[in-house]
Amino acid sequence: MDLRFSPEDEQYRLKLRTWLEANMPTEAAPSDQDADFAFRRAWQRKLYDGGWVGINWPKEYGGQGATLLQQAIYAQEMTHARAPQPANGLGIGIVGPTLMEHGSETQKQRFIPKILNADEIWCQGFSEPNSGSDLASLQTKAVLDGDDFVVNGQKIWTSLGQYADWCILLVRTDTDAPKHRGISYLLVDMHSPGVTVRPLKQITGNSEFNETFFDNVRVPKQNLIGEMNEGWRIAMTTLTYERGISSLATQVRIKQQLDGMIGYAGKTRRNGGTLSEDPVLRQDLAQAHIRVEVMLLNLYRGITSRLRGQPPGPEASLDKLYWSELDKWMQELGMSLQGPYSQLMEGSEHAVKGNWQYNFLRSRAGTIYSGTSEIQKNIIGERVLGLPKG
Ligand SMILES: Cc1cc2nc3c(=O)[nH]c(=O)nc-3n(C[C@H](O)[C@H](O)[C@H](O)COP(=O)(O)OP(=O)(O)OC[C@H]3O[C@@H](n4cnc5c(N)ncnc54)[C@H](O)[C@@H]3O)c2cc1C
């Protein structure tokens, strides 16, 4: 395996770095959630004007048709620069690519252009109160009535629901068919009568996701993606995009946090010495360094096998399981380093500077969304290791 990037790829890195130096927002991201969303929407428009959003999308849809290595470089550079996340993350990451693969020409022309410039924000209405890991058991129902589907039911964990203009919605359209075969995939206007979005407050203090209710919501038939009752296959495309290349950005983020922890341990004194002289914390920091580097090498291994023509497979579950569990462990280590100060949130005059507490609380979510750790282990056991089904 050759771990170096080619001169052309390094050129690409330089071009992006130069653009970021000239265009990164000079002001800090607002702490208020709504203001932060508006800030990231404005940032996405700037990225769009510069041609730096949806870089992996084909050129005909406004992307750059970037190679896999360019995508890797993009993820690394954006994170190195601490660039804000574009507001329409789900639109860019999963909705656009799904529409390109399964949408009709009319649907593509109607919906795709407004994703990249953040004119229309998207959310994902898959999970329900009783259907998460077992997604195919979903109960939200849609019945054809003339030229419309009439949708009734409830979704939960709808990220960005409070800001969204549109939703990719999985609904049951055949209650008699086996559960995977009676599902359809709709595009729903979130401003339709009968849609209610209720933000849920999380342990971090933010309301990242919502409960979403559909009460006799009329959805025009032309907003069905693919064929009726064929939605499961299309949902699988969406979920494949959800576990994409972004792990590289996560690796850089975790490494930056580790560097911050090592810096803190080197200058903070407790029990007569610095934290980095403490034999237990010292071992933990070394262990963290090793794990973060192993993550990078594993990600490079995945990219190398894709470059050799192998399609993305269930190995993506290894990356997802690895980074989310590593993140949780690392944030706990951060709390151990702070000792009693770990109980103070940013804002308190005695709190250690940085988002340590937020990161600690937020890291719980990583082992749940996009498939929980247990589900990833099942996939690895059955489809990577070939173990018998449990
Ligand atoms: C921050 C965040 C954002 C999210 N955003 C969205 C969104 O925008 N749109 C959306 O549709 N969903 C979203 N989700 C939902 C997410 O996909 C689900 O939470 C996830 O699939 C798990 O489902 P559940 O919460 O119903 O848990 P359950 O499926 O009820 O699982 C409960 C526990 O049982 C375990 N378990 C379940 N089945 C098995 C099994 N077969 N073997 C072993 N253990 C098992 C699980 O691992 C878990 O520990 C989000 C979740 C989070 C945390």
Question: Whose alpha carbon is nearest atom 35 of ligand 1?
Answer: 374
Beta-carbon contacts of 122 under 8 Å, excluding residues fewer than 6 positions away, are 88, 90, 91, 95, 115, 160, 164, 165, 166, 167, 168
- On average, the pLDDT of the chain sits at 93
Residue 294 backbone phi and psi in degrees, to 5: -60, -40
One-letter identity of residue 325: E
Residues 256 and 378 in one domain: yes
374 catalytic, yes or no?
Answer: no
Residue 332 has pLDDT above 90, yes or no: yes
- Mapped onto helix, strand or coil, the DSSP state of residue 220 is strand
**Which residue, 187, 207, 229, sits at the end of a domain?**
229
SS3 assignment for 137-176: HCCCEEEEECCEEEEEEEEECCCCCCCCCEEEEEEECCCC
pLDDT-derived band at 111 (thresholds 50, 70, 90) equals: very high
| Confidence grade of residue 346 (pLDDT, cut at 50, 70, 90) | confident
Is a pLDDT exceeding 60 seen at residue 245? no
Q: What is the mean pLDDT of residues 173-185?
A: 96
Phi-psi bin for 315: left (phi > 0), alpha (psi -120 to 50), beta?
alpha
Let me know if residue 114 belongs to a domain.
Answer: no
pLDDT at 309: 82
Q: Is 209 helix (H, G, I), strand (E, B) or coil?
A: strand
| CATH number, domain with residue 35 | 1.10.540.10
- Write the single-letter amino acid at 356: W
Q: What's the mean pLDDT in 195-208?
A: 95
What confidence category does residue 244 fall into, taking pLDDT thresholds of 50, 70 and 90? low
**H-type helices in the chain, by residue range?**
7-23, 33-49, 68-80, 89-90, 96-102, 105-111, 113-116, 231-242, 247-267, 279-307, 316-338, 356-366, 373-379
Give residue 139's pLDDT band: very low, low, confident or very high (50, 70, 90): very high
What pLDDT is recorded for position 1?
A: 60
H-helix or E-strand containing 225?
A: strand 224-225
At 2, the pLDDT band (50, 70, 90 cuts) reads: low
169 lies in the same domain as 282? no
In a domain, 346, yes or no: yes
223 and 179, same structural domain? yes
Residue 109 Cβ contacting ligand 1 at under 6 Å: no
Expressed in angstroms and rounded, the spacing between residue 370 Cα and the centre of ligand 1 is 8
DSSP states of 257-326: HHHHHHHHHHH-EETTEEGGGSHHHHHHHHHHHHHHHHHHHHHHHHHHHHHTTPPP-TTHHHHHHHHHHH
User: Phi and psi of 25, rounded to 5°?
Assistant: -60, 140
Cα separation, 204 vs 327, whole angstroms = 16
Same domain, 250 and 378: yes
State which ligand 1 atom lies nearest to the alpha carbon of 90: 8
Which of 86-90, 93-97, 251-255, 386-390 is predicted with the least confidence, judged by mean pLDDT?
Answer: 386-390
Residue 3 has φ and ψ, to the nearest 5°, of -90, 0
Sole residue written with tokens 């959800």: 242
Model pLDDT, residue 365:
96
Pairwise CA distance, residues 323 & 301, whole Å: 15
pLDDT above 80: residue 246: no
CB 158 within 8 A of CB 147: no
User: Looking at residue 172, what is its pLDDT?
Assistant: 98
Place of tokens 């009568």: 193
Quick one: pLDDT at residue 316?
Answer: 82
Instruction: Calculate the CA dihedral of residues 285, 288, 290, 291 and round it to 10 degrees.
Output: 170
Q: What CATH number should be reported for the domain holding residue 166?
A: 2.40.110.10
Last residue of a domain, one of 229, 251, 283: 229
The average pLDDT across 145-173 equals 98
Q: What is the mean pLDDT of residues 45-53?
A: 96
- Domain boundary among the residues 40, 63, 87 is at 87
Confidence (pLDDT) at 311: 73
Contact (CB, 8 A) for 89 and 124: no
Residue with CA nearest ligand 1 atom 51: 369
Residues 370 and 325 in one domain: yes
| Assigned domain for 100 exists | no
pLDDT at 354 over 80: yes
366 lies in some domain: yes
Same domain (yes/no): 308, 334: yes
Distance 373 CA to ligand 1 centre (A): 9
Tell me, what amino acid is at 295? M
Whether residues 366 and 247 fall in one domain: yes
pLDDT tens digits for range 283-327: 999 999 999 999 999 888 888 888 888 877 777 889 999 999 999
Q: Is residue 162 part of a domain?
A: yes
Query: Apex CA 135: angle with CA 130 and CA 141, to 5°?
Result: 70
157 lines ligand 1 (CB under 6 A): yes
Pick the catalytic residue from 242, 315, 332, 349.
242
Backbone angles phi, psi at 214, to 5 degrees: -120, 115
Of 98, 126, 362, 372, best ligand 1 pocket probe by most atoms within 8 Å of the beta carbon = 372
Mean local confidence (pLDDT), 209-232 = 97
Q: How many structural domains does the chain have?
A: 3
> Of all protein residues, whose CA lies closest to atom 30 belonging to ligand 1?
132
Q: Residue 305's domain spans which residues?
A: 243-384
Q: What is the DSSP letter of 343?
A: G
Residue 98 CB–ligand 1 contact under 6 Å: no
Task: Report the amino acid identity of residue 362.
Answer: R
User: Percentage of the chain surpassing pLDDT 70?
Assistant: 98
The protein residue whose alpha carbon is closest to atom 48 in ligand 1 is 372
On the question of pLDDT at 213 being above 70, the answer is yes
Give the distance (Å) from ligand 1 centre to CA of residue 331. 21
Give the pLDDT band of residue 239 (cuts 50, 70, 90).
confident
321 Cα to the center of ligand 1, angstroms: 14
Q: Is 208 in the pocket of ligand 1 (CB under 6 A)?
A: yes
